[in-house]
Chain A
Amino acid sequence: MAEKITINPVTRISGFMEIEAEVENNVVVDAKTKGLMFRGFEKMLMGRDPFDAVYFTQRICGICSTAHSVAATLALESSMNFVPSEQGRYLRDITHACEFLQNHLRHFYQYTLPDYVKLPENYPLFKTDHNDYRLPKETNDRMVEDYFTSLEFSRNAHQMLAILGGKAPHNHGVFIGGITSPVTVSKIIALTSLLDGIEQFINDRMIPDVYKIGEYYSEYYYMGKGYGNLLSYGCFDHYRELGTLYVDPLVYSNNIITPFHPEEISQANDFSWFNENDQPDFQKEKAYSWIKATRYNDLPFEVGPLARQWLSGEYRNGISAMDRTIARVLEAKKIVQIMKVLIGNLIPDVPMQEEYRVPDNAMGRGLLDTTRGALGHWLVIENKKIAFYQIITPSAWNLSTQTGDIKGTGEQAIMGAHVSSVDAPVEIGRIIRSFDPCVSCATHVFSEGKPGKVIRVV
């Protein structure tokens, strides 16, 4: 007889989510991941000035706003047939990389660590009802210390972002052409100095911490695999002189790596709360989430640090909840190395900005990999205004809903998991958090009066 588990809220993620699972003999036999917030950004963007999208779309997400500013900028640049200077690109990518560091540090220490490390219970924030904490006291104490110490370094990552982007979250630097303000020697020195501190913390604390967790919770190397389909739109790739510093647009499925083709992306809403006209419909039968079902070649895919580390060949230990968490930590180190290369290639005091014109009528798209994985913005400009905007976020891949009998990526990862206690199913939260879910991002997909499929722009 199956028992039903409902976890709501799934805390320590961005946004609101429920997981519903059925468990038989302590094994998950059915799972649903449900995005429970909706704002309708695509509808809000209709009729606005195209350039405003750079600032407006950042408000989709407080933890990954820079990613949206970059995707919107790329979409605008493509609609204008504008190619930024390499210096502009370096600066924009360094700004984006700062956000990777902020995210990875916070996701590992503030969002993931409380799953495995017993935090001091005299603070109400840290009370839990399960007792599956396995680290020896000394190790546990050190990680509690690192939980707090990490705050300085994630804050410093945002400070670096603000040095180039004015403020964070929701920066003002990223724009068509690169960033707004030319970099100065003193800014380069400040960035280098802050980056050194972050690098030291990653090497000395973060990497040893994640491997130590893997040692004591080793069954998570065998849990949460899911389909094992991996995808990246490319990340810090195709620089004119520097080539690819991280990973090209690639797809991994059935043990084969192939080039990524954007036209293979599709979205379905069979099980999401949208009717046939793409209008919100909370009464829709069978529907259970505001998140649609994003597919590539009609298959669900995983995006994010593990996908990138796997596709670039840097990490091939396995695909599991623990591997996902380790890949994220190792990626933080990789990002530091990429930033050092980009900073080393900066030329101070080079202006990047021009007087831009909004095209009368145009289409554009911006695809890139960001902290949580593949992010795409698509837009249509008519009479100098936004006539259509579509956003597909990393969590729209990882938390996608069912199509037919095919579960979404995160749902499949939970299937088959061993759950010790249905009253405190700590395993499920650990698996889903390994994806770093961001529901704020994933659930606003909405496009009035247009077919619910991705527009295709060459």
Chain B
Amino acid sequence: MVFYPKCKVGDKLETKNFQCPYQESKLHSTAKLVERANHEITNNQLKKVNLVWLELNGCAGNIISLLNGQNPDFQFLLTQMANLVYSNSLLAAEGTEAMDELFNAIGSDYILAVEGAVSRKDEGIYNLIGRHDGQLITGLDAVRQLGENAAHVIAVGACASHGGVSAARPNPTGCVGVYQVLQRKVIQLPGCPCHPDWFMGTLAYIMLYGEPPLDSRNRPLMFYSTTIHDRCPRRSYFDQGIFASKLGEKTCMFKMGCRGPVTQIDCPIRQWNGHVNWPVEDDSICIGCAQFGFPDAMEPFITFKSTRGE
């Protein structure tokens, strides 16, 4: 299998080396990366990684989305790729024992995946994730301690990447993205939620080659290189100026507030939930959930005004 024809395996790829983004994203599809990682694990060329999944102030929708993974699925992640050390949603242990498991990861070699935003207001009291040695632990404490010691930090979803909905105005609990509280690089996987392939592909890439090629805002280029608009199956309607006036129509929804033109992500070719559908195919607007600035910069999500000329 060829990955980057111009580079050796392990080389970092610069943006300028990219040719056709569509081809690139196909070449580096998650399934192929995971297949290769698994092959190397089976042949003892690669070790399973320790993975800590830290939930902060959010909706826990990213772990739910990860459970929706298919080829590779969650069982594969758990049994073949990673030692999942911690997940508030899934851990069998509870209480003190659970917190011990979390903090015992420090000192080992692990990858930290974070979902949810970091609440900074009032020393982080709006997000208490457990009690360790009797003391309440804020999400802010936990992400600082675990983030500084991790081999890689991955912000999974909009809230962890840039605050997302948890930081929507007036941001009552002072939420920010993980990168704003750590003095280190954080790989950003914005999206509400994060597609399971974006996470699994990133993890497999790290295991095989180290950090994947990232754009200037630390998003993996293999998923985030191209706008929805550039690959939208309804693009020809946009070019011809044929616009929908209500949902359920099969033409371009730009005038109803579709944020495809500013949202860099691969939804049109990847699609969701076993690759069966995605918002535009479902006759609905893209609300820009995978773009920085979501939700405030993407509002109003939907409007009927522009088509009525109000």
Contacts and interface: CB of A to CB of B under 8 A. Distances in A.
B304 A356 contact: yes
Interface stretch (B7-15, B79-87, B234-242): B79-87
Contacts of B299: 48-49, 52
A353 B95 CA distance: 49
A176 to B, nearest CB: 9
Contacts of B98: 9, 11
A178 to B, nearest CB: 9
A8 B172 contact: no
A282 B122 contact: yes
A166 B92 contact: no
B233 interface: no
Given A125-B78, A169-B193, A44 B248 contact: no
A393 interface: no
A170 B168 contact: no
B101 A127 contact: yes
B62 interface: yes
A163 B101 CA distance: 39
A124 B101 contact: yes
A16 B63 contact: no
Given A8-B131, A49-B301, A44 B61 contact: no
B101 A61 contact: no
B307 to A, nearest CB: 7
Given A51-B302, A163-B277, A169-B193, A11 B88 contact: yes
A355 B61 contact: no
Contacts of B101: 124, 127
Nearest to B123: A282
A446 B276 contact: no
Contacts of A180: 247-248, 282-284
A148 B79 CA distance: 11
B241 to A, nearest CB: 19
A119 B78 CA distance: 13
A440 B64 CA distance: 13
B291 to A, nearest CB: 14
Nearest to B157: A62
Interface in A331-362: 351-357
Given A11-B88, A175-B284, A353 B94 contact: no
B207 interface: no
Interface stretch (B28-36, B52-60, B222-230): B52-60
B92 A128 contact: yes
Nearest to B248: A353
Interface stretch (B65-73, B181-189, B197-205): B65-73
A162 interface: yes
Given A7-B94, A169-B65, A182-B248, A16 B125 contact: no
Contacts of B57: 37, 39
A159 B68 CA distance: 8
Interface stretch (A78-86, A150-158, A200-208, A233-241): A150-158
Contacts of A36: 127-129
B94 A155 contact: no
A155 B64 CA distance: 9
B273 A167 contact: yes
A272 interface: no
B94 A10 contact: yes
Contacts of B59: 14, 59-63, 65, 169, 440
A127 B68 contact: no
A271 interface: no
A393 to B, nearest CB: 12
B64 A62 contact: yes
A166 B279 contact: yes
B83 to A, nearest CB: 5
Interface in A289-332: 290
Interface of B: 55, 57-65, 67-70, 73-75, 78-79, 83-95, 97-99, 101, 122, 125-131, 136, 164-166, 168-173, 175, 192-193, 245-249, 272-274, 276-279, 281-285, 287, 289, 295, 299-304, 307-308
Interface of A: 6-16, 18, 36-40, 43-44, 48-49, 51-52, 55-56, 59-63, 65, 106, 110-111, 114, 119, 123-129, 148, 151-152, 154-155, 158-159, 161-170, 172-173, 175, 180-182, 190, 280, 282, 290, 351-357, 429, 440, 446
25 contacts: A7-B95, A8-B95, A10-B94, A11-B89, A11-B91, A11-B93, A12-B92, A16-B55, A39-B126, A40-B173, A43-B170, A44-B171, A49-B301, A52-B302, A56-B165, A56-B168, A62-B61, A62-B62, A123-B78, A124-B85, A128-B97, A155-B68, A166-B272, A175-B247, A357-B304
